[in-house]
A = this chain, B = another copy of it.
Amino acid sequence: MDIADKYFNCTNSERAVFEAGIKLGTVYHQFVGAPISKDNVEVLEKSIAEGAKVQPFVVDAAVKIDRRRLREKSTDYDYLTLTGDMLDVALTVQYEDVTVICEMRHIPEMDYPLMYVKEIIRKDQ
């Protein structure tokens, strides 16, 4: 048993979704505000995904940034800073026998970058 485990009072699936929530909160609040244009969008996507993968229990991460509003760098001010509504993120988190797929994406009808639990897979099922 991990030292950390004794602090938790919850089931394995609750633990797995808790860890998933932490990681989506991390992606949003660490990287929103980062300078972005068409020139660095790919490395920023990769950096966000690889950053998620070094955190505990993350086994996969896919990050897409919406390029429609990005500008080619032609004048000095042709860049934006990353906002939540540009982000499309899917993370796979595994804790013990439970795997969680969680996502963040902009929901137009809410005008909100929603983080949600898409699927919980238990090994025995």
Interface residues of A (CB under 8 A from B): 2-4, 7-10, 13-15, 17-26, 28-37, 39-40, 43-44, 46-47, 50-57, 73, 75-77, 79, 81, 83-84, 102, 107, 109-110, 112, 114-120
Contact = CB atoms under 8 A, between A and B. Distances in A.
Question: Helix, strand, loop or mixed for chain A's interface?
Answer: mixed
B120 A77 contact: no
How many copies of this chain does the complex contain? 4
Contacts of A116: 4, 7-8
A73 B55 CA distance: 10
Contact of A25 (B29, B50, B109, B114): B29
Nearest to A23: B25
A79 B84 CA distance: 13
